[in-house]
Amino acid sequence: MAAVLSNPYEPAYALTSSSRICPDAPMTPGPCSASSSTMSPAEIVSVAARTTISQSQAYTRSTTARDPSRYVDPEHAAAAAAAAAAAAANAASRQLSHHIQNKAQPQPQAPPQAQLPQVPQQQHRSQAPQPHNAPAQQPRPAPQPQQAGAEQRAQPKSLISFNVGSRYKVCDVIGEGAYGVVCSAIHRSTGQKVAIKKIQPFEHQMFALRTLRELKLLRYFQECDVSENIISILDIIKPASYESFQEVYLIQELMETDLHRVIRTQHLSDDHCQYFTYQILRALKPMHCAEVIHRDLKPGNVLLNANCDLKVCDFGLARSLLTAEEDTGFMTEYVATRWYRAPEIMLTFKRYTKAIDVWSVGCILAEMLTGKPLFPGRDYHDQLSRILELLGTPTLEEFYNINSRRSRDYIRSMPFKKRQDFRRVFPMATAEALDFLTRTLTFDPKKRMTVEECLEHPYLAAYHDADDEPGAPPLDPEFFHFDMKKNSVTKEELRRETYDQIMEFQPLLR
């Protein structure tokens, strides 16, 4: 499995996939069972989750413990993961061959690869593919009694330090990062499976800013009732007192996997690509209506469950466009994964717009259609070169929209490149998909479609319903007041505002 490519500054927010998210979860047959050829369309996500538990946990522990002062090149992580997977496969093959020779048995035939069924054409989002023919769940044996303290001793240290009270049964650690841990848990009263993020944001001002940003934005979209495709906060553990307040515990929906992992393990039909793209845009619409840009859209920040329900997560880099021009450090924190960055981010255009997110949507759709990243640049220069290789040399108008003289000089030094024919780059894409890609992956951000135009595009006609795509009121500029003065705001001020946000929150789980 390829390593997930993530923002090195990113907190441990995105959930990893697991078929045993909690110890009490039943075991399910593997993807190569006899019924694999009759998998339902919605099972593509659960298959990806079941087949990658060990790899995803290993990835999470190894790639999310990041140092904000260093950048971990995703190319190195991907190469290391690929080499490890190849070595493991070769070792397993040699062991199997040796065993067969000793037993004088014929070589067994490999089971045929399961083919994903086609998704029936949808006329409305409410008719989205639903799971059917789900494999029967196998009962788990009753747990054996343990001596007092044995369960606690068996738990990882990070679980033992989860102070969430008696309302939640903490299960497994599913992610660790530079300043936080994510675990799965069960709400004891309802039996609902949830994810709990333990964040320690006050060791660094950047962490505190991101935590407060995400907390306020998620609360705002929930209060506006527009968060169906945005990850929700179900509960927040309230601290005993302000004096003892050092940790934040967010209880959120538990999603089985993310889009990155699904793309790496399954072939997606065009219908699946349409449905996932539609849901991403449906999450973006309230953000952009509120004059907020996400700034870090990528497959790893798109969570999925077995019903193909999609949630956009990780709002730590999100910012208000209303305050961007007053914030001289608007882009200093921009460390989103290079592969999904719009060209204006790297070339320092005169103004940044919502088109930043639309570019990322185009990159994600291209990756779903081909199964591989569209612009996997090794570094800044290689990233820009790959973009120009596809889109061609910028026009004179586009060239003078670049604010940085150094960037203009760099482009001027490059050989002229002709725009490639998208029909050759995406040979399996439909005419509607090609047009959608053409109008989202344009060098000039002013020529890209808006989110509303994307939703109305013929490529998404099967799901588009203007009455079921809510927006959100624009945010007051004071909403992000801490960003406008982030060079002078103290960690104690951020801690106080975070505490107030938590104490005001009304939980959805009781």
Q: Residue 429 and residue 438: Cα distance in Å, rounded?
A: 12
Backbone angles phi, psi at 225, to 5 degrees: 60, 45
Residue 20: closest CA among 45, 62, 43, 54: 54
Q: Kindly list the distances between the CA atom of residue 152 and the CA atoms of 168, 198, 363, 409, in Å, as whole numbers in the listed order.
A: 15, 18, 45, 61
447 marked ligand binding residue: no
Report which secondary-structure segment, H or E, holds 79.
Answer: helix 74-103
Q: Decide: 434 and 426 in contact? Cβ < 8 Å.
A: yes
- Report helix, strand or coil for 257: strand
Q: Is 466 within 8 Å of 282 (Cβ atoms)?
A: no
349: DSSP letter: B
Separate counts of helices (H) and strands (E) for the chain: 19, 10
Backbone φ and ψ for 444, nearest 5 degrees, come out as -85, 115
Cα gap 116→40, rounded to integer Å: 8
- What's the rounded Cα separation, in Å, for the pair 239 and 245? 6
307: Cα separation from own chain's centroid: 17
DSSP 468: G
Residue appearing with tokens 């808006």: 450
For residue 186, give the H/E element and its range: strand 180-187
Phi, psi of 260 (to 5 degrees): -60, -45
Q: Are the CB atoms for 236 and 211 separated by under 8 Å?
A: no
Identify the burial level of 90 via C-beta atoms within 10 angstroms of its C-beta, where 0-12 means exposed, 13-18 middle and 19 or more buried.
exposed
Per-residue b or e along 259-297, where b marks 16 or more CB atoms closer than 10 Å to that residue's CB: bbbbbbbbebbbbbbbbbbbbbbbbbbbbbbbbbbbbbb
| Phi and psi torsions of 138, nearest 5° | -90, 130
Which residue, 221, 186, 256, is CA-closest to 509?
Answer: 186
| Type of residue at 154 | A
Dist. CA 201–CA 209, nearest whole Å: 8
Sole residue written with tokens 């640049």 = 377
- Indicate the annotated binding residues for ATP: 198
Residues tagged in the binding site annotation: 198
